[in-house]
Amino acid sequence: MAQRRYWDERWDRQRLPNDYQRRRGDTILDLLGSLRLTNPEILDFGCGTGWFTEQLSHVGRATGLDLSEAAITYAKATYPHVPFIAANLFELSFPVEQFDVVVSQEVLAHVQDPM
């Protein structure tokens, strides 16, 4: 799959967040805190190398999902205490309804209409 290969190559070049991504992550964490959820189930859709999923794991039970197997391999090795899944959102083997919160950054512009 060409799309998976593209993301594998991208995450091989950029494993850590830039300043903008860190600031946006801090904003999302602040918003989650304002919801006052107790240990929520959180899905980080398009988690890349997992740096933000790891941050989310301090707020609730976070799971990272990304199309890139290379990014997920890196995330699992770097953050072994956080579950990560390499999969296409439209081909999941579990119900997304199990999550209280779904977070997605820099993903929607790259999602092709599945219909």
Domain architecture of the chain: domains with CATH: 2-110 (3.40.50.150)
Contacts of residue 2, Cβ cutoff 8 Å, sequence gap at least 6: none
Burial of 60 (0-12, 13-18, 19+ CB in 10 A): middle
In single-letter form, the type of residue at position 73 comes to T
Residues 6+ apart with CB under 8 A from 103: 28, 42, 43, 44, 45, 52, 56
Q: What pLDDT tens digit does each residue of the chain (115 aa) get?
A: 566 666 666 666 665 777 878 898 899 999 999 999 999 999 999 999 999 999 999 999 999 999 889 899 999 999 999 999 999 877 887 787 899 999 988 776 666 665 5
pTM of the model: 0.79
